[in-house]
Amino acid sequence: MNRAAHTTLTLVIVWTTLAVVLCGCAAKGPVYVDQGTSYDKKSALKILAQADSSAVMAEPASRGSKLRHGALASLRGKGAPASRVADLLTRTFPSDTSGVPVYVERASYDDKPAVVVVEATGPDSGTLSGKRLWILDEQGDVLFAGSR
């Protein structure tokens, strides 16, 4: 193999490896669940405790808005019902909020259709180190909220 072909092959391998590594490290977006589960206050708080926010934990809160945008875009890619939930979240919360959705579920709360959202949150000058739970009705009104 001549030197030019070897150099080209080496560059292709390096760039391909880099692309695979970067794609593998990219956030996959929030978990989306739509199984018709019904919650009350006590069971909703269990979701807050169990939701996995490790994909964005320790990210600077200043990146929250950008990460939120990516999470909502990912949610829109999970089908029409998930896309409608992403639209509801976009209408309900300010676009510059630093809360990053990590768990989203279509469910019911106290026998009303609802959307359950767990966000990774943190202080403006800190990191995404906490979690916040929102339960919204289909119009975006808050039925229940909690934080941890």
Q: Is 40 within the bounds of a domain?
A: yes
Taking only the tens place, the pLDDT of each residue in 79-137 is: 999 999 999 999 999 878 889 999 999 999 999 999 999 999 999 889 999 999 999 99
Q: Is 101 within the bounds of a domain?
A: yes
| pLDDT of 11 above 60 | no
Q: Is 13 within the bounds of a domain?
A: no
Total number of domains constituting the chain = 1
Taking only the tens place, the pLDDT of each residue in 40-91 is: 999 999 999 999 999 999 899 999 999 999 999 999 999 999 999 999 999 9
Length of the chain, please? 148
Provide DSSP, 127-145.
Answer: BS-EEEEEEE-TTS-EEEE
Q: Is 121 within the bounds of a domain?
A: yes
How many CA atoms are closer than 13 Å to the CA of 79, on its beta-carbon side? 7
Q: Is 45 within the bounds of a domain?
A: yes
Q: Is 90 within the bounds of a domain?
A: yes
pTM of the shown model = 0.80
Q: How much is the pLDDT for 119?
A: 96
How far is the C-alpha of 30 from the C-alpha of 67, rounded, in Å? 11
Range of the domain at 140: 29-147
Q: How much is the pLDDT for 88?
A: 96
How far is the C-alpha of 81 from the C-alpha of 36, rounded, in Å? 13
Q: Is 117 within the bounds of a domain?
A: yes
Q: Is 62 within the bounds of a domain?
A: yes
Give the pLDDT band (50/70/90) at residue 1: low
